[in-house]
Structure 1
């Protein structure tokens, strides 16, 4: 028997599901995490989620269930970090393919439950957009979470929803989330992060990284990329809230409306009707507007990089930030992988080290 967890969104939720599993059942308890291959354009240049047909090297241990393994690979030009996650996370990883809509996802979850011999589902979300009403002005990506919630409800299998790190995805403001979530059910500890900490050496999930930092005792104000406000790392940032599937469904109008959907295209149209936008359409526009691949350039020397970083760092401190994510540093300074690795080495060598895994402490913080 394996515990069955469903990651409500993309890679960050799969990592969070592994942490919540460790907290609830212990890291060595057998488990399967079902997750989308729906990753940001920095990872996958093709808009929208990837389906089972977009991968090679998967396993099909039962009809309707696709497992991602370290030997799996996305078919070009698509990209995915799921095979690397499969190599590092303790739970096995299964693929959620949303192209059959709510009905198709429900069949996949049912197949996974039979294979796991599981009589219940743990549905895990980092941040809280799984209980979004749809009209929050900062809401950006409600569709995957709502589809997962609708599909779990359609199976009829008892489902518990866990929301970890409320507000950490910067989608639903914390004052709106608190009355919807109630009191926390558990608090993540440093030990719960042991199995995922090394993932953030290469994985870009910012909500996941901030959650791990909070669970490991980091406190202060953290800046993430392209966010409406900085995040406050306090005790609430490492708490996990528990709802029944029925309670979450009552709070999420989009999930309720997605019940009859039998295709991703139909689900996208429902999202337009309920929320006023389609996140897949936004991804298409961003992909079309993305610049051409730049010409190779020689990496900047370490001294120049540190000087650029120092000027940028002073500006971030002036904003009141204590910490920043790896992704914010890399993207705002437009670093190549070689430059990013060199800058990280320089910052780690400083005393005290600036790396507070998986975040970076700004000077003077």
Structure 2
């Protein structure tokens, strides 16, 4: 966790000091209300819009994403994997129908600072920049998807370091509206600065940076109505109700290990590290549910030279935002190992095709493949 204490107010550029802390959890909050830039927004996204496993209804997502790929020119082509009675999938080359969507940039963005000393959550900041008043549920789910990796900033009334040293609860910024209480969080230094630049007590404000999933868990555990991200950056703000946060957290691993690796700077060992994460945590596949008249099957991608990559997803939201007629289905590491071991024609896996994404060749998937050996022929 990083602590950032504001020592003086400056509209152009705040004076910021950075201190690293060994704390790995948010202390229990004792927030005081912060006057919002406008009236408290209504919760503009329904929990029913989150298409999770077992959900009866889901959104019809149609928002396109930007082009780009990390699989040597991979083309988004779903092919069917019919399920025989034995339960072992058999790969069959049959292209899924429907329009083909462009892919998002594969590589994560470079780290930037809109305020010196505060590292922006660029993926979340970019997603929020595309949000306008009246944004659809699908667009808001796209923002949530990008918020599940990286960090959020929380405002603290007073000096966060002094409060923590004294063992006190942090007094974080919140908004109260009758019986509704929302925690306030920020995607970037600029959004945080916008929330305090006109306040008389700005000099006594500090901030902490925490993993977004840890902040979301605090909202769930703390009895909040929800969270408002970048409240002072209207219209580029979102409101997520607590029930939606809880559902998103339940469907991902606690550290969002795969998403975190994909959002981090890359090196030659990144594919191996992602494979190791896939060997330890549940992933998801995209299933054609048969409503378009085609057999139920798992989506794949083809490279321009004809190689086939199984599409994997770190979270069901990654499937939803593609806007295809697919349903997310959980896929345990042992299931992935079984499919790869039984189908040598699969060249590897393509993870989170909406971006940031990565193509992992079969030779870098040894951490997963060894699970098939451990399973034996039972």
Question: Normalising by structure 2, what TM-score?
Answer: 0.23
Question: Normalising by structure 1, what TM-score?
Answer: 0.24
Instruction: Specify the structure having the higher radius of gyration (Cα).
Output: 2
